[in-house]
Structure 1
Amino acid sequence: MARSGITNMGEIAKSIADAKRKAIAHAERVNRNLANAVLQGVVEGTPEDTSVTVGDWQVGVNTVPQGTLDSSDPGGAGALARGQSQIATAKLGGTINIVNNQPHVDGLNAGNAVTKPAGWVERSIDAAKAGLR
Structure 2
Amino acid sequence: MAGLDELAKRLDRIAVEVEGNVERAVKDCAGAVLRSVVDATPVDTGYARSNWTPELDRAFEGLFPARVPGKAGSTAEATAAATVEAGLPTIEAFDLSRNAEIHITNNAPHIGALNDGHSRQAPADFVRLAVLDGLAAVRGARVLPD
Same fold (TM over 0.5): yes
Partner of 2:123: 117
The Cα shift of 1:71 comes to 2.2
Q: In percent, how many aligned pairs have the same letter?
A: 27
How far apart, in 2, do the equivalents of 1:46 and 1:30 lie? Answer: 24
Residues 68-94 of structure 1 show CA distances to partners (whole Å, capped at 9, x for unaligned) of 101233321121112110011112251
Query: How far off its partner does 1:110 sit?
Result: 0.4
TM-score by length of 1: 0.89
1:84 is aligned to 88
Letter in 1 for 2:18: A
Does the 8 Å contact 2:36/2:130 carry over to 1?
yes
Q: Which one has more relative contact order, counting CA pairs under 8 Å at least 6 apart?
A: 2
- Structure 1 or 2, whichever has the larger Rg, is 1
Q: Which sections of structure 2, spanning at least 5 residues, go unmatched?
A: 69-75, 140-146
Asked if residue 97 in structure 1 is aligned to residue 103 in structure 2, the reply is yes
- For structure 1, list consecutive stretches of 5 or more residues without a partner in the other structure: 1-5
Task: Report the CA distance between 1:63 and its aligned residue.
Answer: 2.1
Count of residues in Structure 1 that have an aligned counterpart in Structure 2: 128
TM-score between both structures, scaled by the size of structure 2: 0.81
Distance (whole Å) between structure 1 residues aligned to residue 134 and residue 64 of structure 2 = 25
CA distance in 1, matches of 2:7, 2:62: 51
**Contact 2:50 2:65 (8 Å CA) reproduced:** yes
State the superposition RMSD in angstroms.
Answer: 1.4
Q: Which of 13, 20, 23 is the matching residue for 1:28?
A: 23
Q: Which of 46, 49, 52 is equivalent to 2:44?
A: 49
Using the alignment, how far apart are the partners of 1:30 and 1:102 within structure 2? Answer: 28
Deviates more, 1:60-69 or 1:7-16: 7-16
Please state if 1:39 is matched with 2:45: no
Match of 1:59 among 45, 50, 54: 54
Do the aligned partners of 1:50 and 1:72 also contact (CA within 8 Å) in 2?
no
Offset at residue 132 of structure 1 (A): 2.5
SS class of match (2:2): coil
